[in-house]
Protein backbone atom coordinates (compact mmCIF):
# COMPACT_ATOMS: atom_id res chain seq x y z
CA UNK A 1 0.00 0.00 0.00
CA UNK A 2 1.74 3.22 -1.16
CA UNK A 3 -0.95 5.87 -0.65
CA UNK A 4 -3.96 6.39 1.54
CA UNK A 5 -7.24 4.98 0.29
CA UNK A 6 -10.25 7.25 -0.25
CA UNK A 7 -11.94 5.59 2.75
CA UNK A 8 -9.07 6.86 4.93
CA UNK A 9 -9.58 10.43 3.73
CA UNK A 10 -13.35 10.24 4.28
CA UNK A 11 -12.78 8.88 7.79
CA UNK A 12 -10.30 11.63 8.61
CA UNK A 13 -12.79 14.31 7.52
CA UNK A 14 -15.52 12.78 9.65
CA UNK A 15 -13.05 12.55 12.53
CA UNK A 16 -12.46 16.29 12.40
CA UNK A 17 -16.19 16.92 12.71
CA UNK A 18 -16.59 14.34 15.50
CA UNK A 19 -13.73 15.86 17.52
CA UNK A 20 -14.99 19.46 17.24
CA UNK A 21 -16.42 20.95 20.43
CA UNK A 22 -19.43 23.07 19.51
CA UNK A 23 -21.25 25.49 21.77
CA UNK A 24 -23.23 23.73 24.54
CA UNK A 25 -26.51 24.37 22.69
CA UNK A 26 -25.28 23.00 19.34
CA UNK A 27 -23.44 20.11 20.97
CA UNK A 28 -26.61 19.23 22.84
CA UNK A 29 -28.47 18.97 19.54
CA UNK A 30 -25.69 16.83 18.02
CA UNK A 31 -25.58 14.48 21.02
CA UNK A 32 -29.37 14.20 21.32
CA UNK A 33 -29.69 13.48 17.60
CA UNK A 34 -27.03 10.77 17.69
CA UNK A 35 -28.43 9.10 20.80
CA UNK A 36 -31.94 9.15 19.31
CA UNK A 37 -31.02 7.99 15.80
CA UNK A 38 -28.73 5.19 16.94
CA UNK A 39 -30.81 4.11 19.91
CA UNK A 40 -28.01 4.37 22.48
CA UNK A 41 -28.76 2.91 25.91
CA UNK A 42 -27.14 5.47 28.24
CA UNK A 43 -28.13 3.80 31.52
CA UNK A 44 -24.52 2.72 32.28
CA UNK A 45 -23.01 6.08 31.33
CA UNK A 46 -23.03 9.76 32.25
CA UNK A 47 -25.74 12.01 30.90
CA UNK A 48 -25.43 12.74 27.17
CA UNK A 49 -25.13 16.46 27.90
CA UNK A 50 -21.76 15.99 29.65
CA UNK A 51 -19.91 14.99 26.46
CA UNK A 52 -18.26 18.00 24.80
CA UNK A 53 -17.88 16.41 21.37
CA UNK A 54 -19.42 13.60 19.37
CA UNK A 55 -16.15 11.70 19.68
CA UNK A 56 -16.28 12.00 23.49
CA UNK A 57 -19.75 10.43 23.32
CA UNK A 58 -18.45 7.62 21.04
CA UNK A 59 -15.59 6.79 23.41
CA UNK A 60 -17.56 7.20 26.64
CA UNK A 61 -16.46 5.25 29.71
CA UNK A 62 -18.74 3.30 32.03
CA UNK A 63 -19.85 5.11 35.19
CA UNK A 64 -19.00 1.94 37.12
CA UNK A 65 -17.07 -1.07 35.87
CA UNK A 66 -19.14 -4.16 35.14
CA UNK A 67 -18.97 -7.17 37.39
CA UNK A 68 -17.49 -10.29 35.79
CA UNK A 69 -16.28 -13.73 36.84
CA UNK A 70 -12.89 -13.70 38.56
CA UNK A 71 -12.39 -17.39 37.81
CA UNK A 72 -9.15 -17.88 35.91
CA UNK A 73 -10.75 -20.47 33.62
CA UNK A 74 -13.49 -18.12 32.36
CA UNK A 75 -12.86 -15.96 29.29
CA UNK A 76 -15.01 -12.82 29.06
CA UNK A 77 -16.22 -10.70 26.17
CA UNK A 78 -13.85 -7.75 25.61
CA UNK A 79 -16.66 -5.48 24.41
CA UNK A 80 -20.36 -4.87 23.85
CA UNK A 81 -21.06 -6.31 20.42
CA UNK A 82 -22.91 -8.69 18.12
CA UNK A 83 -21.26 -12.06 17.42
CA UNK A 84 -21.46 -12.24 13.63
CA UNK A 85 -19.62 -15.59 13.52
CA UNK A 86 -17.71 -17.89 15.86
CA UNK A 87 -16.60 -21.49 15.95
CA UNK A 88 -13.88 -23.82 14.70
CA UNK A 89 -11.14 -22.83 12.30
CA UNK A 90 -10.81 -25.05 9.23
CA UNK A 91 -7.01 -25.30 9.24
CA UNK A 92 -6.28 -21.55 9.08
CA UNK A 93 -9.63 -20.47 7.58
CA UNK A 94 -12.28 -18.57 9.58
CA UNK A 95 -15.72 -17.33 8.59
CA UNK A 96 -16.14 -13.62 7.88
CA UNK A 97 -19.85 -14.32 7.73
CA UNK A 98 -21.82 -17.43 6.83
CA UNK A 99 -20.54 -18.79 3.51
CA UNK A 100 -17.56 -16.41 3.25
CA UNK A 101 -14.17 -17.57 4.52
CA UNK A 102 -10.92 -15.69 4.99
CA UNK A 103 -7.36 -16.82 5.67
CA UNK A 104 -6.27 -16.11 9.24
CA UNK A 105 -2.58 -16.20 8.34
CA UNK A 106 -3.15 -13.33 5.90
CA UNK A 107 -5.22 -11.44 8.47
CA UNK A 108 -2.34 -11.61 10.96
CA UNK A 109 0.09 -10.12 8.42
CA UNK A 110 3.73 -10.63 7.54
CA UNK A 111 5.32 -9.55 10.83
CA UNK A 112 4.59 -12.89 12.49
CA UNK A 113 6.52 -16.00 11.51
CA UNK A 114 4.81 -18.99 9.89
CA UNK A 115 5.32 -20.85 13.17
CA UNK A 116 3.65 -18.08 15.18
CA UNK A 117 0.68 -18.01 12.81
CA UNK A 118 0.31 -21.79 12.63
CA UNK A 119 -0.42 -22.06 16.38
CA UNK A 120 -4.05 -21.12 15.67
CA UNK A 121 -4.63 -23.72 12.94
CA UNK A 122 -7.73 -25.76 13.81
CA UNK A 123 -8.34 -23.50 16.80
CA UNK A 124 -11.31 -21.23 17.57
CA UNK A 125 -12.38 -17.81 16.33
CA UNK A 126 -14.89 -15.17 17.43
CA UNK A 127 -15.95 -12.09 15.43
CA UNK A 128 -17.28 -9.21 17.57
CA UNK A 129 -19.09 -6.52 15.57
CA UNK A 130 -19.48 -3.19 17.37
CA UNK A 131 -22.26 -1.11 15.84
CA UNK A 132 -22.43 2.70 16.14
CA UNK A 133 -24.83 2.32 19.09
CA UNK A 134 -22.46 0.16 21.14
CA UNK A 135 -20.04 1.01 23.93
CA UNK A 136 -16.78 1.49 22.01
CA UNK A 137 -14.13 0.70 24.60
CA UNK A 138 -12.42 -2.69 24.71
CA UNK A 139 -11.12 -4.69 27.65
CA UNK A 140 -8.79 -7.58 28.35
CA UNK A 141 -10.72 -10.91 28.24
CA UNK A 142 -8.40 -12.92 30.53
CA UNK A 143 -5.20 -12.40 32.52
CA UNK A 144 -2.49 -12.36 29.87
CA UNK A 145 0.90 -11.24 28.65
CA UNK A 146 1.11 -9.21 25.43
CA UNK A 147 4.06 -10.55 23.44
CA UNK A 148 3.77 -8.51 20.25
CA UNK A 149 1.63 -5.84 18.62
CA UNK A 150 1.56 -5.07 14.90
CA UNK A 151 -0.09 -2.06 13.31
CA UNK A 152 -1.08 -2.85 9.71
CA UNK A 153 -2.26 0.20 7.71
CA UNK A 154 -5.11 -0.43 5.29
CA UNK A 155 -8.51 0.65 4.05
CA UNK A 156 -11.57 1.72 6.04
CA UNK A 157 -14.50 -0.08 4.49
CA UNK A 158 -17.68 -0.34 6.61
CA UNK A 159 -17.79 -3.57 8.63
CA UNK A 160 -21.55 -3.83 9.17
CA UNK A 161 -23.34 -7.05 8.29
CA UNK A 162 -24.43 -5.94 4.80
CA UNK A 163 -20.82 -4.96 3.96
CA UNK A 164 -19.51 -8.30 5.23
CA UNK A 165 -21.88 -10.06 2.85
CA UNK A 166 -20.70 -8.06 -0.16
CA UNK A 167 -16.92 -7.79 0.16
CA UNK A 168 -14.72 -10.88 0.39
CA UNK A 169 -11.67 -10.50 2.69
CA UNK A 170 -13.00 -7.29 4.22
CA UNK A 171 -11.12 -7.81 7.50
CA UNK A 172 -7.91 -8.42 5.59
CA UNK A 173 -8.25 -5.25 3.49
CA UNK A 174 -9.01 -2.93 6.40
CA UNK A 175 -6.49 -1.31 8.72
CA UNK A 176 -5.90 -3.33 11.88
CA UNK A 177 -3.86 -3.78 15.04
CA UNK A 178 -2.89 -7.38 15.83
CA UNK A 179 -1.94 -8.43 19.37
CA UNK A 180 -0.24 -11.76 20.12
CA UNK A 181 -1.11 -12.74 23.69
CA UNK A 182 -0.30 -15.59 26.04
CA UNK A 183 -2.81 -16.54 28.73
CA UNK A 184 -1.97 -17.75 32.23
CA UNK A 185 -2.55 -21.37 31.14
CA UNK A 186 0.30 -21.04 28.63
CA UNK A 187 -1.93 -20.96 25.54
CA UNK A 188 -1.61 -18.25 22.90
CA UNK A 189 -4.24 -16.28 21.05
CA UNK A 190 -4.54 -13.21 18.86
CA UNK A 191 -6.76 -10.19 19.31
CA UNK A 192 -7.25 -8.27 16.07
CA UNK A 193 -8.72 -4.77 16.17
CA UNK A 194 -10.22 -3.98 12.75
CA UNK A 195 -10.89 -0.37 11.74
CA UNK A 196 -13.98 0.82 9.88
CA UNK A 197 -15.30 3.80 7.95
CA UNK A 198 -15.68 7.10 9.86
CA UNK A 199 -12.85 8.32 12.10
CA UNK A 200 -10.90 5.05 11.77
CA UNK A 201 -8.90 5.60 14.95
CA UNK A 202 -8.08 2.69 17.26
CA UNK A 203 -6.50 3.70 20.56
CA UNK A 204 -4.12 1.23 22.23
CA UNK A 205 -3.33 2.61 25.67
CA UNK A 206 -0.20 0.53 26.33
CA UNK A 207 1.39 1.51 22.98
CA UNK A 208 1.02 5.26 22.30
CA UNK A 209 3.27 4.95 19.23
CA UNK A 210 0.44 3.24 17.35
CA UNK A 211 -1.27 5.99 15.34
CA UNK A 212 -4.02 4.57 13.13
CA UNK A 213 -5.51 6.32 10.08
CA UNK A 214 -2.38 8.43 9.76
CA UNK A 215 0.19 9.11 7.06
CA UNK A 216 2.14 6.03 8.19
CA UNK A 217 1.69 3.42 5.45
CA UNK A 218 3.96 0.51 6.41
CA UNK A 219 3.31 -2.23 9.02
CA UNK A 220 5.09 -1.66 12.33
CA UNK A 221 6.02 -4.32 14.89
CA UNK A 222 6.26 -3.72 18.64
CA UNK A 223 7.67 -6.41 20.95
CA UNK A 224 7.36 -6.66 24.73
CA UNK A 225 9.24 -8.65 27.37
CA UNK A 226 7.14 -7.99 30.47
CA UNK A 227 3.74 -6.52 29.52
CA UNK A 228 1.11 -8.17 31.72
CA UNK A 229 -2.54 -7.10 31.74
CA UNK A 230 -5.43 -8.20 33.93
CA UNK A 231 -8.88 -9.42 32.98
CA UNK A 232 -11.17 -6.42 32.61
CA UNK A 233 -8.41 -3.85 32.03
CA UNK A 234 -9.53 -1.07 29.67
CA UNK A 235 -6.85 -0.88 26.97
CA UNK A 236 -8.39 1.50 24.47
CA UNK A 237 -11.30 2.19 22.18
CA UNK A 238 -12.58 2.52 18.65
CA UNK A 239 -13.54 5.98 17.56
CA UNK A 240 -16.78 4.74 15.94
CA UNK A 241 -17.99 1.17 15.59
CA UNK A 242 -15.80 -1.62 14.28
CA UNK A 243 -14.80 -5.25 14.83
CA UNK A 244 -12.61 -7.35 17.10
CA UNK A 245 -11.54 -10.83 16.02
CA UNK A 246 -10.17 -13.29 18.58
CA UNK A 247 -8.31 -16.30 17.20
CA UNK A 248 -7.20 -18.90 19.74
CA UNK A 249 -4.92 -21.89 19.41
CA UNK A 250 -6.29 -25.41 19.29
CA UNK A 251 -7.48 -26.89 22.60
CA UNK A 252 -7.56 -23.54 24.38
CA UNK A 253 -11.22 -22.47 24.49
CA UNK A 254 -14.61 -24.11 24.74
CA UNK A 255 -17.05 -21.52 23.40
CA UNK A 256 -20.43 -20.77 24.93
CA UNK A 257 -23.49 -20.72 22.65
CA UNK A 258 -22.98 -17.11 21.49
CA UNK A 259 -23.28 -17.22 17.70
CA UNK A 260 -25.56 -14.54 16.22
CA UNK A 261 -26.28 -13.00 19.61
CA UNK A 262 -25.54 -9.75 21.44
CA UNK A 263 -22.92 -9.96 24.17
CA UNK A 264 -21.78 -7.48 26.80
CA UNK A 265 -18.31 -6.68 28.05
CA UNK A 266 -17.74 -8.86 31.11
CA UNK A 267 -20.03 -11.68 29.99
CA UNK A 268 -18.41 -15.14 30.12
CA UNK A 269 -18.20 -16.34 26.51
CA UNK A 270 -15.79 -19.28 26.82
CA UNK A 271 -13.94 -21.46 29.27
CA UNK A 272 -10.46 -22.91 29.14
CA UNK A 273 -10.36 -26.50 27.93
What residues are labeled active site?
Answer: 80, 139, 242
Number of Cβ atoms within 10 Å of the Cβ of 10: 14
State how far the Cα of 90 lies from the Cα of 260, in Å rounded to an integer. 19
Write out the H or E segment, with its range, that includes residue 104.
Answer: helix 104-108
Angstrom CA distances, 208 to 21, 94, 201, 236, stand at: 24, 30, 12, 10
- The length of the chain is 273
| DSSP assignment of 145-193 | EEEEEEEE--B----SHHHHHHSTTHHHHB-EEEEEEEETTS-EEEEEE
Amino acid sequence: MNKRHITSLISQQFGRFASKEFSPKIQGIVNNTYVGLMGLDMSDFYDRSTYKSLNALFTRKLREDRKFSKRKAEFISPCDSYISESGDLNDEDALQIKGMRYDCHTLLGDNFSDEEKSIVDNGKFINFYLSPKDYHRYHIPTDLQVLKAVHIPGKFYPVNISSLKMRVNLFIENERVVLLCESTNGKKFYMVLVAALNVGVMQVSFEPNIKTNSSHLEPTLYEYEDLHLKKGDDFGCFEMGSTIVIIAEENMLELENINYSDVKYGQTIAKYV
